[in-house]
Amino acid sequence: MTSIVLLKQLKLLQEQELYSSIIKICVLSLTEIEQKPEYSTLLRKFHISLYYADALYQTRNFTQAENHYRQALQMRKTIVSKTKNVHKKVIENQDEIASDVDIKYKIYRCCLALNQKNAAADILQTIAARQRTPKIYMALGNIYKDVGMDRLAITCFKEVLRECPLAIEAMEILLKLGVNGVEVNSLVMEVSLEITWLGTWIKAQAQFLAKDYASAILTYKSLDTHGMLKDNTVLTVNMAYCYYYMCEDSKAISLLQKAVRIDPNLNWGLALLSTLLAASGNKEYQYELEKLTPNLETSLWTDEHWVVLGNLMLLLKKYERAAYFGQQACMMGKNVEALLLRANALFFLKKYQEAAVQCTNALQIAPFRYDLHKCLILCYLNSNRLREAESMALHACKVLNYTPQAYCLHASCLLKDPLATMKNTRRILEKVVEQDKQGHTDAVYMLADLLIREQQYDQATQILLKALDTQKPTSKLHQLLGECYANLQKDDEAFNNYTIAMRLDPQNQRATEGLNNIERRERFYSTTENSYSSRRANSDHEADAESDSELWNGSVDMANFDS
């Protein structure tokens, strides 16, 4: 087979994606070239090596692919160096020889697949600045970002946008790295004038990444209209994340479920949805979680699929399996939901030290996640590491911008600390209750519990009644109100509130105990009253007998007197 025919057939096989055939043909052809070097040119060997490396990469043989790409790169240098200046220009202007930039980028992809980040960075940095294309700048920017070289990363991503204004990933990374939304918009002004939603999208993303979630929601909603981006899943999931970071889980769940209805094959957002459904502890969500589990072969699962299955196990209280599935997800890359899943599973298995490690790793990726701070603090509290728990709670207040949820974490640590003053704890909880009108935190419950312990039942009752006026009634709210009334000797009101608490949550143990205590007290009083009535009746009978006797004796005396 002549070299022209062979290369033509290899190109045809590559176009048809018949990579296994390419690998076999190339192995045989390269052996032939080694046996008969006089009949083959270096250029022919170079082309065959490139086809071979491409096929190896497509079949995920990354180590071999990298090796053959490097060989091809070396052959190219030799070919170019042996060619005179005139012919060199001819060769480089023709399509018959691949550029060294393309080969180096392919080596970078192999290194990245093999998790050899230093080698990936080294090969890209050998490309001269004038030869760097947008994909090279994008790759370099990601490497610089991962190693914390933000200024270099920003420069690279800006270069990407200058040539490709619609590289939306580069826009979002620049915003994450702290570049002002106005500046990012100026880089894409050329296309934003034609694409009406782009400027608003950049504004929403800038607000989201600046943690101004309330403003971001309003901006996203302005896009979620007919003629713009109505019912777009990316938009819907972004809004769900805003509500989630604001600790409004019910709204986040609703939006994520909407996104799944719009796109049943949705991938991004599934892990968060499963996390929220499992965290709710509501058995009614079991069917929802089962619907989210993938029907694909496990070899095709993403980390999100493993997290979904793990959260289903967590809801079913199969914690060992949940931890295993979380580990499977973690092996596929950094994933906050996977680390949180493992942390929760290990926490329920009472492996607090291991759970704390998972939370710490997750907080390095997402330090603004409330649920991660909460899980870590609970691990410390259950390990009797009170000082570390309080320190972490104060840090959470600062990172989370002193939200009511963060204050609640601090208060929960103070309630466990025997050295903490109740006055300080009460002051913090009263502040949270004042801020949290919608009842997104447990501050009302915690403050009421504290007041009940201090036997300030009237104040606790007032706080709970006020909460009932502004918040959705819950089983715990009525249970605490029942306890207050019971301690105030108002059994009818206590009975009514315990009954409502049991109706809202039949598993509420404290409400059940409260009802039983009222019934025992009523039986005691009823028995005491009956006993008292019985004794009184008996004493009345005795008194009657004595009276009759006296009257009879008196009659005798009177008879005697008459006689």
Q: To the nearest whole percent, how much of the chain has pLDDT over 70?
A: 89
Report if residue 288 sits inside a domain: no
- Say if residues 359 and 327 touch (Cβ distance below 8 Å): no
Report if residue 473 sits inside a domain: yes
Map 32-80 to HEC letters.
HHHHCHHHCCHHHHHHHHHHHHHHHHHCCCHHHHHHHHHHHHHHHHHHH
Domain of 506, CATH number, reads 1.25.40.10
Report if residue 476 sits inside a domain: yes
- CB neighbour class for 76 (10 Å; exposed up to 12, middle 13-18, buried from 19): buried
Report if residue 495 sits inside a domain: yes
Q: How far apart are CA 34 and CA 38, in angstroms?
A: 9
pLDDT at residue 2 in the model: 59
Residue 561 has pLDDT above 60, yes or no: no
- Could you give the residue ranges of the DSSP H alpha helices within 227-302? 233-245, 249-262, 270-280, 286-292
pTM score, whole prediction: 0.78
Higher pLDDT, residue 523 or 511: 511
Task: Taking residues 115-123, report their average pLDDT.
Answer: 89
pLDDT at residue 377 in the model: 94
Residue 135 has pLDDT above 80, yes or no: yes
pLDDT interval class at 357 (50, 70, 90)? very high
Report if residue 465 sits inside a domain: yes
Q: What is the DSSP letter of 332?
A: T
Report if residue 503 sits inside a domain: yes
- When divided into structural domains, the chain yields a total of 1
Q: What is the mean pLDDT of the chain?
A: 85
Q: Which of 167-171, 378-382, 390-394, 466-470 has the lowest mean pLDDT?
A: 466-470
pLDDT interval class at 240 (50, 70, 90)? very high
Q: Phi and psi dihedrals of 263, rounded to 5?
A: -130, 95
Q: To the nearest whole percent, how much of the chain has pLDDT over 90?
A: 41
Q: How far apart are CA 314 and CA 296, in angstroms?
A: 21
Q: How far apart are CA 5 and CA 3, in angstroms?
A: 6
pLDDT interval class at 97 (50, 70, 90)? confident
Single-letter residue type at 63:
T
Report if residue 521 sits inside a domain: yes
Domain that residue 472 falls in = 461-525
pLDDT interval class at 542 (50, 70, 90)? low
Residues 6+ apart with CB under 8 A from 31: none
Report if residue 136 sits inside a domain: no
